[in-house]
Amino acid sequence: MRTAYTADQIRAAEHALMARLPEGTLMMRAAAGLAAVCATALGRVYGSRVVLLVGSGDNGGDALYAGALLARRGARVEAVLAGSRTHERGLRAYLLAGGRVAGGAAATAVERADLVVDGLVGIGATGALRAPYDELALAANAAPALTVAVDVPSGVDASSGRVAGAAVAAQITVTMGAAKTGLLVDPGAARAGTVELVDIGLGPHLPGPDVVALTGADVAELLPRPGKESDKYRRGVVGVAAGSDLYTGAAVLAVGGALRAGAGMVRYAGQHAPVTQVRTHWPEAVVTELSRPGVEEVGRVQAWVLGPGLGTGEWARELAASVLASDVPVLVDADALTLVSRDPSLLRRAAPVLVTPHAGELSRLTGAARDEIEAARLEHARAAAAELGVTVLLKGSTTLVAAAGRPVRVNATGTSWLATGGTGDVLAGVAGALLAQGLDCYDAASCAAHLHGLAGRIAAEGAPLAAGDVAAAVPEAVRRVRDGR
């Protein structure tokens, strides 16, 4: 499991550790790790051109000490001193090692560099970068050089991933002691590149994490396994209430996701047109054509998937109310999210609820503007989970799973090829199958997001995919997770 922490958590851990160590020890450890990553990225250190963007804080000190180590190995290192002050000891060590201070043409130095080290601001910075930091960030982004950020890319909020203005887009981020939340959550995560962790000894002093990302091994441990006594009922019966005359495919995809994710039985309930399509595509499913919008005649299920392609008319509203009146976990997706946003009382139930919105759907549920949600995904996912009393799987460039009182989980799998119609229906089916197999909403959502993202990678392999390809790749994703691949 990968863990990440807020700036306040990191600072508290640093203070506790620094009280037990000689002054400057942590900075030396950080600089040595930073220099090692830079040397590996350069390949050939001797004769290479390195430019340090040095701010006023400790990140600037880390960059200067690392620059001194690179200069001693023969790199031609120039420092752009951008802050109102400079870390004195770091600058002294840097100059003694043969490092040089860039003159007025900072942009020219950046353009000619083989590697740029971003040490402008650290984890305590919030809000938009000010001049000249913003100009240097843009210059680094425009330069052909590889950019390595110290701790977090300048302009990225370490505690949330917010990006309020210009920000460095690093190819590598060398983070000290522990990962920061903003490196795992977009839009900040998209600026971080590859994250390299330097161990400076914070571990024993860190509290519980702010966010976590499950690894394949974590997911393998959580996934249900059929035993010798298993039968189709013990393996989980999931009900799917999805699809309509207009959107028959949503029903097919949701049922397919549930079947591929290992449900012992899938019961599908819907109107004539989607019923016909589900019967044709999935003879394994037990299909009920509803004569009225209620699920009492469907039979016992252990979890429901509600909403993909359902529509938002009166029939759909009555069907949603019937499903949500049951006493089993319900996954609420797509059109059902619109229905419950119109009538929030539908979510007031004793049994668990998992909602799976994208930013626009979460906007309808909570009233927050979509662009505000996109800018602060972590904050809004947490707030929605607390406000609505549900588990939230917020879909998007970073998929987040939030539940009250628990660290937000960040999904680390996926591909941009998943941004195509119908893939969310498959995800709903996968998560519903895991709910029916006994996982709680938090674990079912986290495992489903991981498997869905991995299935997307398998299906795409660098090329376009369709939602049905993702469903077909789910069993291979499960195999890879179980085999540790």
CATH number at residue 465: 3.40.1190.20
What is the per-residue pLDDT across 108-135, written as a single tens digit (0 to 9) for each? 889 999 999 999 999 999 999 999 999 9
Which CATH number does the domain housing residue 171 bear? 3.40.50.10260
For 351-367, b where at least 16 C-beta lie within 10 A, e where not — what string?
ebbbbbbbbebbbebbe
Is residue 265 predicted with pLDDT exceeding 70? yes
Range of the domain at 294: 216-483
Q: What is the pLDDT of residue 8?
A: 97
Long-range contacts of 55-58 (CB under 8 A, 24+ apart): 55/82, 55/83, 55/119, 55/120, 55/121, 55/122, 55/133, 55/154, 56/83, 56/84, 56/85, 56/86, 56/87, 57/83, 57/87, 57/121, 57/122, 57/124, 58/27, 58/87, 58/122
**Do both 145 and 230 map to the same domain?**
no
Q: Which whole number is the average pLDDT over 450-454? A: 97
51, 107 contact by CB (below 8 A): no
437 and 305 fall within a common domain: yes
412 in the same domain as 316: yes
**Same domain assignment for residues 115 and 247:** no
pLDDT band at 365 (very low <50, low <70, confident <90, very high): very high
Distance CA 70, CA 38 (A): 8
pLDDT of residue 129: 96
Residues 195 and 236 occupy one common structural domain:
no
Domain boundary residue, one of 165, 189, 210: 210
Q: What is d(CA 326, CA 303) in angstroms, rounded to the nearest whole number?
A: 9
Q: Which residues are annotated as a binding site for K(+)?
A: 59, 118, 154
Element (H, E) at 272: helix 272-281
User: If you search the block for the tokens 């991933």, which residue do you land on?
Assistant: 161
How confident is the model over 366-424, as pLDDT tens digits? 999 999 999 899 999 999 999 999 999 999 988 999 999 999 999 989 888 899 999 99
**Count of structural domains within the chain:** 2
Q: Are residues 287 and 428 in the same domain?
A: yes
- Residues of the binding site: 58-62, 118, 122-128, 133, 151, 154, 250, 309, 358, 395-399, 424-425
Give pLDDT, residue 452. 98
201 & 314 share domain = no
Both 205 and 67 in one domain: the answer is yes
Claim to verify: residue 226 and residue 173 sit in the same structural domain: no
Asked if pLDDT for residue 230 goes beyond 70, the answer is no
* Mean pLDDT calculated for residue range 53-70: 96
pLDDT (0 to 100) of residue 409: 98
For 397, other C-beta atoms within 10 Å of its C-beta total: 15
Same domain, 225 and 318: yes
pTM of the model: 0.92
Question: Is the Cβ–Cβ distance between 304 and 331 less than 8 Å?
Answer: yes
Q: Which residues are annotated as a binding site for (6S)-NADPHX?
A: 58-62, 122-128, 133, 151, 250, 309, 358, 425
Mark whether 267 and 404 lie in a shared domain: yes
> Mean pLDDT across the stretch 197-209?
96
Encoded tokens for 129: 């970068």
Nearest to 362 by CA among 339, 381, 342, 389: 381
Q: Answer with the one of 192, 210, 228 that is the final residue of a domain.
A: 210
Query: Is residue 306 located within the same domain as residue 401?
Result: yes
Residue 332's beta-bridge partner residues? 306, 355
* Nearest Cα to Cα of residue 88 among 57, 109, 49, 118: 57
Q: Indicate the annotated binding residues for AMP.
A: 395-399, 424
Query: What does the pLDDT look like over 317-331, one tens digit per residue?
Result: 999 999 999 999 999
Residue finishing a domain among 161, 192, 210: 210
